[in-house]
Amino acid sequence: MPDRAQPVLDVRGLKTVFRTRGGEIHAVNDVSFDLRPGELLGVVGESGSGKSVTMMSLLGLLPSPPAMNKGGQVLFEGHDLLRVEPQHLRHVRGGRIGFIFQDPMTSLNPVFTVGYQIAEPLRRHMGLTRAQAAIRAAELLDLVGIPDARSRLKDFPHQFSGGMRQRVMIAIALACDPKVLIADEPTTALDVTIQAQIIELIKGLRQKLGMAIIWITHDLGVIAGIADRVMVMYGGQVVEMAPTADLFARPRHPYTQALLQTIPALRGAREARLKVIEGQPPIIRAVPSACPFTNRCVHATPLCALENPRRRNLTPGHDVACHRAEELAVVTRGPAHA
């Protein structure tokens, strides 16, 4: 993807908090990134690192209260999505930006047929008639690989397998030919065989439709095979961003290095134990004044506990938020390592 390509989505300084009885939880802290046309951006990190909350914040999908935006911009098609009228945001959601949620069984409405749920955005965003929407819904089911698509339109979600329900979610997300597709761990609840099928499906649709994709996951092995760039999140902020090959070959942040070390090696001693990252992700109750990874980092210094490092560019396209990024550079076996 050429660097000069105009971003289709540009996020700047996004901040999101949750107001609770115990005070504010700072879930997203000054997150900035861009997405270029046709690019697949992988977003990785442990559960609780802020991946899903960040992406749901872009489209106003978090319930308010308790969620509240505290700053930033989300620039899409000349508009800041954080400040547009609700009617405009509803037009963008499902129309210009598609979203695949984690669990299709809880995302699909059990009392409506699959055909109705696919046709709804077609009628709302594209103004199709009921008959036109039904025809297009059958085409979408066929596109995502569901056999005998037309007859399955009258079926309810519980009549589909887990993999088929996820395909239905993809069909809904693609219904209005979005410019951006956000896939929030779309293969987490599926078995390995179905995961591979869904990944190949989305890769093929990306090539066919030319849309940009944000793929949220905790599986670095998946990201190694599909992403153009990787954004690593921890403690509600971006700690490293780089082209995929560069990140796997030369990870600079201690958290990224630790994540890569937890991946089982294909070769090596059978008795070797998997490495783990000791401790738990932090609950951020104030604007971070220290590196959020300090308490779990084996390379932490006194400065890490006093100052939250800013992201800085080390090599072209490779940004890291770490005080010791230059001296901690390591070399791995590259994407094939995952």
Write 139-143 long-range contacts (CB < 8 A, 24+). 140/171, 140/172, 140/174, 140/175, 141/114, 141/167, 141/168, 141/171, 143/171, 143/174, 143/205
Distance CA 166, CA 170 (A): 6
Picking from 292, 297, 185, 300, the residue whose alpha carbon sits closest to that of residue 236 is 292
Picking from 213, 166, 159, the residue whose alpha carbon sits closest to that of residue 186 is 166
pLDDT at 296: 92
- Residue for token digits 């400040």? 83
Q: 192-209 vs 162-174: helix axis angle to the nearest 10?
A: 20
pLDDT at 287: 86
- For residue 82, name the pLDDT band (cuts at 50, 70, 90): very high
Domains of the chain, by residue range, sit at 7-96+179-199+210-266+275-285+303-338, 105-175
- Could you tell me the CA-to-CA distances from 231 to 55, 104, 113, 209, 311 in Å, in that order? 13, 25, 37, 23, 12
- Would you say the C-alpha torsion 108, 46, 44, 306 has a positive or negative sign? positive
Q: Residue 271 above 70 pLDDT?
A: no
Does residue 205 or residue 259 have the better pLDDT? 259
Distance CA 237, CA 218 (A): 15
CATH number of 7-96+179-199+210-266+275-285+303-338: 3.40.50.300
Does residue 116 or residue 270 have the better pLDDT? 116
- For the chain, what is the mean pLDDT? 88
pLDDT at 337: 44
Distance CA 176, CA 191 (A): 29
Q: What is the DSSP letter of 272?
A: P
Most confident of 96-100, 188-192, 276-280: 96-100
Residue ranges with strand state E in 36-148: 40-44, 67-76, 79-80, 97-100
Q: Would you call 296 helix, strand, or coil by DSSP?
A: helix
Alpha helices in 128-250 (DSSP H): 130-143, 149-152, 162-174, 192-209, 220-226, 244-249
* CA diameter of the chain: 66
pLDDT at 301: 92
Q: What is the DSSP letter of 250?
A: S
Kindly state the helix (H) or strand (E) to which residue 19 belongs, with its residue range: strand 9-20
Q: Residue 2 above 90 pLDDT?
A: no
Picking from 189, 259, 254, the residue whose alpha carbon sits closest to that of residue 224 is 259
Distance CA 218, CA 46 (A): 6
Contact 235, 284 (CB under 8 A): yes
Q: What percent of the chain has pLDDT over 90?
A: 60
Does residue 26 or residue 202 have the better pLDDT? 26
Q: How far is CA 3 from the centre of its chain?
A: 21
Q: Would you call 51 helix, strand, or coil by DSSP?
A: helix
pLDDT at 3: 52
pLDDT at 139: 93
Overall pTM > 0.85: yes
